[in-house]
């Protein structure tokens, strides 16, 4: 258990509405990540953060934005949800001192109707 929680765990929303997912960690890790999981694709990186207010894009960042105003919280926002964003979203932190190992939260299942 890497002290990662995600909220909400399940969400159903309608196309065009904004959605924010929250990732919370309790162990003061510097690096945090958002991935999405879709059948046949494994997990793909959306955005990541390497410190407070320091974020960058991953390979599938279109339609998503992130914010990190404090170390423990990393927010993922879908500005205007689309059906193609129906997915399971996982937050991860990079543990220390094993700098390349990432530990995952329990996931958020999002359905966009």
Options 20-28, 47-55, 66-74, 76-84: segment touching another protein (CB under 8 A) = 47-55
Within residues 10-39, the interface with another protein by CB under 8 A covers 31, 33, 35
Kindly state whether residue 106 participates in binding another protein, applying the rule CB under 8 A: yes
Strands 64-70 and 73-78 come out as: antiparallel
Kindly state whether residue 52 participates in binding another protein, applying the rule CB under 8 A: no
Options 15-23, 45-53, 67-75, 76-84: segment touching another protein (CB under 8 A) = 45-53
- The site for another protein (CB under 8 A) is made up of 31, 33, 35, 40-45, 48, 50, 54, 56, 58, 90, 92, 94, 98-107
């Amino acid at each position: 258990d890497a002290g990662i929680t995600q909220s909400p765990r399940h969400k159903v929303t309608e196309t065009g509405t904004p959605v924010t997912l929250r990732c919370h960690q309790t162990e003061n890790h510097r690096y945090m990540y958002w991935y999405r999981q879709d059948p046949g694709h494994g997990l793909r990186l959306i955005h990541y953060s390497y410190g407070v207010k320091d974020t960058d894009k991953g390979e599938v960042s279109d339609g998503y934005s992130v914010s990190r105003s404090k170390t423990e919280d990393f927010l993922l926002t879908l500005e205007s949800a689309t059906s193609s964003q129906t997915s399971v979203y996982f937050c991860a932190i990079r543990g220390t001192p094993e700098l390349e190992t990432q530990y995952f939260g329990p996931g958020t299942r999002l359905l966009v109707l």
